[in-house]
């Protein structure tokens, strides 16, 4: 559940971006994370994309009642190329710390295959854990690149086709698939500024592949969870969609990530070099 939450918080990827000078855009978004209606945290996302590359950075921290129980904060970043109509992740990094532990993950990729990786603390060996093999590190997206949906040129980006995909994700510890399927169209609005308009809502199914413990209650719960959704909204000047909202039913209520502000603009002719996203 934590890994899926990180994917939703920071930030889902596809293929088929039209290679033209009009595929340049920038997004600056701020999110609130809540559980059963109570605020748990804040997050920020900064993304720039052109016809050849993309760069994203994000940060998050606990707030409110959650902060009173335990401090926690984290940052993540990803960059990659856009070639032959597909995203090609090149690097992913994540750092998180709380009262109890610190975690860091670094992935270097080439042609959707992990070529270098560092995970701290390292994954502990366990007989009930499905081992991650070299095969599981091929044909994958990192968690942050997997939050970027690109829809084939010529079609309306906000359409059912945005949900017609399976995201194969490796986060340094686990390999899993998120299968998206079309649910409905729904209007959304950022209360503190930015986007107001239609979004495409996709249902999500979680399918663990490796690195997990099949007998764990949390894994079984997520596999059987039928109430996981993401609302995708467009970035101006591009055919890219990113999460505006995501929700997951849990045993103690609905966990939700919701955009407070969602400001995007076309950036024709400028490269993808965003500054670091900071949580308010």
pLDDT in tens, 78-111: 999 987 667 899 999 999 887 778 999 999 999 8
Q: CA angle, corner 108, sides to 126 and 266, nearest 5?
A: 125
CA distance 49 to 51: 7
Cβ-proximal residues to 232 (8 Å cutoff; 6+ apart), any chain: 12, 149, 158, 162, 163, 199, 200, 201, 202, 241, 242, 243, 244
Q: What is the pLDDT of residue 97?
A: 86
Digit-coded pLDDT (tens) for 216-254: 999 999 999 999 999 999 998 888 899 999 999 998 899
Q: What is the pLDDT of residue 271?
A: 46
Binned average pLDDT, 10 residues per bin, the chain of 280 residues:
39 30 77 90 92 91 65 89 83 88 94 94 92 96 93 79 95 96 97 94 97 94 95 91 95 93 80 47
Question: How many C-beta atoms surround the C-beta of residue 273 within 10 A?
Answer: 9
Q: What is the pLDDT of residue 280?
A: 41
Structure tokens at 100: 């109890």
Q: CA angle, corner 170, sides to 168 and 175, nearest 5?
A: 80
Q: Which residue is associated with the tokens 């009009």?
A: 22
Cβ-proximal residues to 97 (8 Å cutoff; 6+ apart), any chain: 72, 73, 74, 103
Q: What is the pLDDT of residue 178?
A: 97
- Asked if 210 and 199 touch (Cβ cutoff 8 Å), the reply is no
Within 93-132, residue ranges assigned H as helices are none
Q: What is the pLDDT of residue 279?
A: 42
- The C-alpha torsion from 114 through 118 and 120 to 122, rounded to 10°, is 70
């Amino acid at each position: 559940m934590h890994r899926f939450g990180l994917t939703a918080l920071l930030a889902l990827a596809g293929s088929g971006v039209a290679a033209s000078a009009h595929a340049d855009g920038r997004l600056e978004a701020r999110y609130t994370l809540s559980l059963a209606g109570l605020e748990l945290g804040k997050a920020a996302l900064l993304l720039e994309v052109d016809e050849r590359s993309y760069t994203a950075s994000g940060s998050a921290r606990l707030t409110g009642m959650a902060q009173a129980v335990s401090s926690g904060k984290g940052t993540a970043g990803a960059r990659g190329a856009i070639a032959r109509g597909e995203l090609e992740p090149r690097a992913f990094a994540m750092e998180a710390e709380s009262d109890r532990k610190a975690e860091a993950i670094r992935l270097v990729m080439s042609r959707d295959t992990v070529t270098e990786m560092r995970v701290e603390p390292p994954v502990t060996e366990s007989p009930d854990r499905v081992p991650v093999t070299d095969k599981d590190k091929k044909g994958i997206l990192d968690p942050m690149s997997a939050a970027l949906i690109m829809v084939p040129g010529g079609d309306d980006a906000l359409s059912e086709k945005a949900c017609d995909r399976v995201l194969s994700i490796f986060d340094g510890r686990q390999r899993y698939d998120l299968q998206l399927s079309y649910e409905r169209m729904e209007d959304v609005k950022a209360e503190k500024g930015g986007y107001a308009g239609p979004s495409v809502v996709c249902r999500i199914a979680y399918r663990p592949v490796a690195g997990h413990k099949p007998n764990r209650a949390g894994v079984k719960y997520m596999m059987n969870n039928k109430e996981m959704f993401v609302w995708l909204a467009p970035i101006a000047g591009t055919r890219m969609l990113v999460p505006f909202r995501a929700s997951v039913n849990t045993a103690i209520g609905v966990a939700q990530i919701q955009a407070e502000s969602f400001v995007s603009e076309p950036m024709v002719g400028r490269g993808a070099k965003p500054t670091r996203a900071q949580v308010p």
